Amino acid sequence: NEMWRYRALRALKLEQPERALENFRFAAKYGDKFSQHALSLMHWHGVGTPVDRAQAYAWADLAAERGYRDLLLLREKMWMELDARGRAQALLLGEEMYAHYGDALAKPRMEWAMRRALANATGSRLGFEKDRIRFMAGHRFPVRATEGLGVSEQHYFADEGWKPGSYWREQDRQWEAQVIVLPPEPLPD
């Protein structure tokens, strides 16, 4: 999820919102609440996609699934701005989305991906180096050696990156310290 989130944020920086939307969706499949939150805002404001307030609410509801205060407040703000038709549509979309992106499926999917990635992290025992990870001081995320960057070994192998319980606790800790700043909205005259 972190890789897809990073790619999505990079795409936004490069003014490629459609690509960012796609990458945020990939990250959202692994229970990434930041990406689900970003998707809600992109659909709400029409960034890389037409404005779809019902879809935005469904993403906001997924993002708020773990009870993070700021995400709950944003979800409720969106709900209050939907009309009856939009609310009904959002509830239908939400059912479909929970069946694919909800924590009941996303967390096991992420935990499987963590186990698989850790097993493949060291490269080939036969000396093949194309996909090896380079460890360097000061970097948090792994980057393939062919990209010329790296990650600190201490951060890469920390429990919060590989042990599901520690990982989910770290995610909770980060959201407890998070403050969401919404874009300014024009006030009526």
| Identity of the residue numbered 64 | A
Q: Is 32 helix (H, G, I), strand (E, B) or coil?
A: coil
> Which residues are paired to 151 by β-bridges?
135
Residue 139 has pLDDT above 50, yes or no: no
Task: Look at residues 9, 29, 25 and name the one whose alpha carbon lies nearest to residue 17.
Answer: 9
pLDDT 10s digits, 86-114: 999 999 999 999 999 999 999 889 888 88
Whole-angstrom CA distances from 23 to 4, 81, 102, 128 are 5, 27, 17, 29
* CA angle, residues 110, 115, 121, in degrees to nearest 5: 115
Whole-angstrom CA distances from 76 to 73, 90, 118 are 5, 13, 38
Residue 62 CB: number of other CB atoms within 10 A?
Answer: 27
61 and 89 in contact (C-beta within 8 Å)? no
pLDDT 10s digits, 4-54: 888 999 998 899 999 999 999 999 999 999 999 999 999 999 999 999 999
Distance CA 34, CA 81 (A): 22
pLDDT at 144: 45
48 and 20 in contact (C-beta within 8 Å)? yes
Distance CA 19, CA 49 (A): 11
